Structure 1
């Protein structure tokens, strides 16, 4: 829901940073993998309840995720780059929740519900993108992407805000997990409805 507005704010500085990185010969895929590694370290930090370190590493992951796209748009996006980006993102999202649950086993049910909810948003997003590509549909509503980007209540910006809240207020995790998970299911339902309208017949 907030991604379009966020992109207008962050795209210009990301583009300037991408010009510097491209000049240094740093490719988008290298940034994707490095960011993914930082994200996994962030999940590990949550597992040992090092929330400050976890927050810093999670934000570093998200910065790298923005930079890899900016570098790709400058150098020319590739199918492999788009594939790596989406796989690393979806694994990272679940890794953060798993990391928190590892440090708080008593919150396993809330964490499992949130991860299940991520499955709903992820599969409804990817299935729509696959069929959109088959039909040569495209959109730049969230900027130029490798895949058709179907929005919703819970997009990347909202997920980042969730992770920041989890790190800053770990005691509120159950409320955050159940509440955000419910919003994820609303997003999944809206995407399924969009698919019915777009693909029926």
Structure 2
């Protein structure tokens, strides 16, 4: 069993190493930080959406920004669109599951805000609908997906395409990128002396 564990750890490390050497990945992370900081400094907010494990990432990253990451500082305006079961079930019932995030973007988003759209395949219909709604509102979109990119890659202002095709490996890399983004936003918004 330990050989399987070691192999899984090495697979994850190899994905992160490929990401670290991929100029497109590095630029997407840095650009997402820049977009986010500009939005927050202008009084805007960050909206996060994803399904399944990506929904957990959306909640995790929003929580890191609203609460704290490395140190105490004022909260940052970040909202996970995956957490309100009453809204999600009302929209799902009245408009269909594909609209659960788009409707919230229409209601909560504003020009200059940033949507974090997380989908390992790049093909999730409800994420693509949220991206379309964000674009219609004049929002920027930071996408997070896998190597293929799906339809999402072409629709985003910036898109982190993890150099992997395995969903778990993509999710693991998204989590590392999300932590880096939260840390860098925190440092840029509230530098420590």
Which structure shows the higher helix fraction?
Answer: 1
Which structure shows the higher strand fraction?
Answer: 2
